[in-house]
Structure 1
Amino acid sequence: MAAAAAEYFIFLLSLAASSVLISTSHSRTVVEDLATLKPPPDFDAMLRTNCVHNPSHRYCGFSPADIDAVFKSTIVASYLCNESRNPNCVESFPRIDLRNRPKIAPLYLSFNFFWKYCPISINSIDLSNNSITGRFPADVLLCTQIKSLDFSHNRLTGDLPIKSFDPLTNLSSLNLSYNFFSEAKISDSQSFLRRFNSSSFIDSGLLPCPRTFTLKAVLLLVAFPVFVILVICCFGWLCFRRPDYLPRFLQPQHRFTTSMLRAATDGVSRKNLVVKSEEFRIFRGRLRDGCEVRVEIRLNDIDLHHHHHHTNITSEFVEECKVLVQLRHKNLLGVMGWCASREMRAVVTEWTEGDDVEMWLSGSCPPWKQRLKILMGVVEGMCYLQENWPEVGYDLRTGSLLLRYINLEPLITRFKVGEDDFNSKKVYKIGVLLLELITNRRPREDFKRGEAGFVEFVRANYPENLGGIIDDRMMLPENMLDQAKSGVGLGLMCTDLSMSKRPSVHHIHDMIRRAYKACFALTSQNCETRINRRDGGKGQR
């Protein structure tokens, strides 16, 4: 070892003896020498010779670009060896001892090139009691051969680079006490802390404080369950109150909550009220995803104090809605879902821009062809329900039938599942609707006995007083008047008191379809007649 150290320093010491005057301020001299001294021509040959004798030197394998850094490291080594009060720096450099040297210790720590080529003879580094600040100087750990390291009584902060200590296999004595390091993570530092005894880390900040650890453990044991409970409560609130805030795949299909519908209708506000009756209220709403809906809130006499009664009605309502959401036809208003809670029972359907048939009849003068089209659409919807969902009843009153603005397609909007709505009763409903479309009269408003009085009125005037029955605003030509007359006859057949005389739904569908097709032919014929008359008139002139 002595021979190796001598080889390392012999050149520098001879150079210092001949050309360098060491002043009383050693730190100043080393800085000046680093700035002025240059490697002699044979310096690289000396390094190669040293590496031949001892290849473990850190500068072995150097490149020409490394010559200056290696040379500067020898200058720092010479000064540092003497500053550390080693007895014979010519023969050995066993330790770096800068304890209680706060003025020069930071300077030597800043020489990165020295620590990169740290002499292999150094066994001990002591930089204690220097008030060194900042993070731990990890360059010191490049001296991987050291056995002792002391950085106690400083002001080092931040995280200790624990992984950088792994190459220091010879390190048996470590003192990092009385610093301000960040507390080490238990998962990363267990093996490192076991490697040295607790006296190495007194008041260093690395070891978890028992009180702090206990407090953290208590907080964790208390806070984590509280956090879990809060998360569960929030998730439960979303599930039961506002499931529309959940991801779409977690949202219940077809089920709406009271909070969702209140939010969609601005708190069930009057400005969104569309229809008001004794049985229900209809509101226009907008769901959170922007979809416009029609919210029909059912008004009922549920006694909330009788839980069993309320439960039965609610379960029946839900089962009914489960059927309605499956209905798919162009003449049936699509049912999107329902709300069945103690506060609200509502059916949510698609929103459609348009008027009901009652307003359409009274507000405009629709021709016979359009009235037939409306009737055709309603009957097609009836046939679909008759074939696929015979248990579903419906309301065919003109105030309950919607018309789309786009194509004047009629929509049946109100349904009832499981009621005693036999085929004969459904036929009666379409008969009343047919008579309403032809006469433009309101049975429930214009007649004391309602629909029965209306049917009796039509029957009493048919066929002798046909002009007093048919809506004169249609101004029907003679050939279409015969068609309207047949329509009145069909309506009276559908409303006959003898159920055996009433036609079937499919029979009505066939008759309406033939009348609708014939209406187009009659319309074309009437147009040709008017054109011929006009052309004939011009010829006479």
Structure 2
Amino acid sequence: MVAVKKFSGASKQGKKEFITEVKIISSLRHRNLVQLIGWCHEKEELLLVYEFMPNGSLDAHIFGKKTYLAWAVRCKISLGVASALLYLHEEWEQCIVHRDIKASNIMLDSSFNAKLGDFGLARLMDHEVGPQTTGLAGTFGYMAPEYISTGRASKESDVYNFGIVLVEIVTGKKSVSLRHGKIEPESSLVEKVWDLYGRGELISAVDQQMGKDYDVEQAECLMIVGLWCAHPDSNSRPSIKQAIQVLNFEAPLPNLPLKMPVATYHAAAETSSSSSSNGVATATFSSAQLGR
């Protein structure tokens, strides 16, 4: 049995995502990536054939409440996604920025091993190259503040996505609440969990479905690493390798501020203003301006 993904041949965006997926994922081989088996491009038919994932996507399990994910499974999924991201960022011949890491793009095989999929928005970069302007794409609630403002994708913005997913896995809650397609105010999961962290009540954020059937030390570790990865300041986030070391208890937990920092950074923009001697103006953005 296989899974078939169909793109709209009449859509420019559909064709672009089809070409991107074929170009990138056909060359990748990793146990935590969905394997592309084949593709078809005939007239307006654009099809990708993937290995079948019998347990569907992660979001159906942690949000849909159709099945119960045991604690050990949640930990395995978390480390599996981290392993996939390490491969994309540091272990393949080029750096791949996924740009859309979220629960619905994490597939689960028959043994509930995590497989990262959907590379339609991914971008190739040389390992030594910094953030690149790609145009805004992705899913609100997962996108890093600096990416929303500048459209510049980076390994750091992928790590931010990963941090959001970690917090979702432990809490069983979505990153934001939507109402009529819009993000509800004061609904940020990361802000709520960071507040609990600051008050010394972090463990109360664990999914109530778990009861007491989880490891407290592991739960705290997963959530603290999740907050670290989702730090509003991209320079304060870990690399995925550093995050994995902490998740494996090979490095100490980071010391995060008790209050969630405000995202403030400078974005360069071209300008003809005579007030700038080098032709570049800098604008400061805060998390409040970005709808956080």
Q: Within 1, Cα distance between the matches of 2:194 and 2:239?
A: 20
1:353 partnered with 2:54: yes
Residue 202 of structure 2 aligns with an amino acid whose one-letter code is L
Going by fraction, where is strand more abundant, 1 or 2?
2
Q: Within 2, Cα distance between the matches of 1:451 and 1:495?
A: 17
Kindly indicate whether the alpha-carbon contact (under 8 Å) linking 1:314 and 1:340 is maintained by their aligned counterparts in 2: no
Given the superposition, is the C-alpha separation of residues 315 and 364 from structure 1 closer, same or farther in structure 2, using an over 3 Å criterion? closer
1:457 partnered with 2:192: yes
Q: Within 1, Cα distance between the matches of 2:39 and 2:186?
A: 31
Shift of 1:399: 1.8
1:507 partnered with 2:210: no
Q: Within 1, Cα distance between the matches of 2:16 and 2:70?
A: 45
Shift of 1:441: 0.3
Higher relative contact order (CA 8 A, sep 6+): 2
Residue 6 of structure 2 aligns with an amino acid whose one-letter code is I
Match of 2:146? none
Given the superposition, is the C-alpha separation of residues 300 and 513 from structure 1 closer, same or farther in structure 2, using an over 3 Å criterion? farther
Q: Within 2, Cα distance between the matches of 1:320 and 1:509?
A: 26
Residue 512 of structure 1 aligns with an amino acid whose one-letter code is L
Given the superposition, is the C-alpha separation of residues 475 and 314 from structure 1 closer, same or farther in structure 2, using an over 3 Å criterion? closer
Q: Within 2, Cα distance between the matches of 1:451 and 1:345?
A: 41
Match of 1:255? none
Residue 368 of structure 1 aligns with an amino acid whose one-letter code is W
Q: TM-score, normalised by structure 2?
A: 0.64
Given the superposition, is the C-alpha separation of residues 326 and 431 from structure 1 closer, same or farther in structure 2, using an over 3 Å criterion? same
Give the secondary structure class of the aligned counterpart of 1:363: coil
Match of 2:29? 328
Give the secondary structure class of the aligned counterpart of 1:365: coil
User: How many pairs are equivalent?
Assistant: 214
Q: TM-score, normalised by structure 1?
A: 0.36
1:338 partnered with 2:39: yes
Match of 2:6? 297
Going by fraction, where is helix more abundant, 1 or 2?
1
Give the secondary structure class of the aligned counterpart of 1:338: strand
1:496 partnered with 2:201: no
Q: Within 2, Cα distance between the matches of 1:384 and 1:337?
A: 22
Shift of 1:380: 0.8
1:437 partnered with 2:169: yes
Kindly indicate whether the alpha-carbon contact (under 8 Å) linking 1:355 and 1:404 is maintained by their aligned counterparts in 2: yes
Q: Within 2, Cα distance between the matches of 1:371 and 1:298?
A: 31
Kindly indicate whether the alpha-carbon contact (under 8 Å) linking 1:401 and 1:413 is maintained by their aligned counterparts in 2: yes
**For 1:51-62, what aligned pairs fall within 5 Å after superposition?**
none
Shift of 1:514: 2.7
1:482 partnered with 2:217: yes
RMSD between aligned residues = 3.0
Match of 1:381? 84
Percent of counterpart pairs with the same letter? 24
Q: Within 1, Cα distance between the matches of 2:204 and 2:76?
A: 23
Match of 2:253? none
Residue 339 of structure 1 aligns with an amino acid whose one-letter code is C
1:466 partnered with 2:175: no
Q: Can you list the C-alpha shifts for 1:230-288, whole angstroms capped at 9, x where unaligned?
A: xxxxxxxxxxxxxxxxxxxxxxxxxxxxxxxxxxxxxxxxxxxxxxxxxxxxxxxxxxx
Q: Can you list the C-alpha shifts for 1:331-366, whole angstroms capped at 9, x where unaligned?
A: 111112333455233322122222321222223333
Kindly indicate whether the alpha-carbon contact (under 8 Å) linking 1:432 and 1:451 is maintained by their aligned counterparts in 2: no
- Computing the radius of gyration from Cα coordinates, the structure with the larger value is 1
Kindly indicate whether the alpha-carbon contact (under 8 Å) linking 2:85 and 2:240 is maintained by their aligned counterparts in 1: yes
Kindly indicate whether the alpha-carbon contact (under 8 Å) linking 1:333 and 1:412 is maintained by their aligned counterparts in 2: yes
Give the secondary structure class of the aligned counterpart of 2:98: strand
Shift of 1:438: 0.8
Which segments of 5 or more consecutive residues in structure 2 lack a partner in the other structure? 124-133, 135-151, 251-292
Match of 2:71 among 364, 368, 388: 368
Match of 2:155? 423
Residue 408 of structure 1 aligns with an amino acid whose one-letter code is F
Q: Within 1, Cα distance between the matches of 2:38 and 2:213?
A: 47
Kindly indicate whether the alpha-carbon contact (under 8 Å) linking 2:196 and 2:205 is maintained by their aligned counterparts in 1: yes
Shift of 1:394: 5.3
Shift of 1:477: 7.2
Shift of 1:398: 1.4
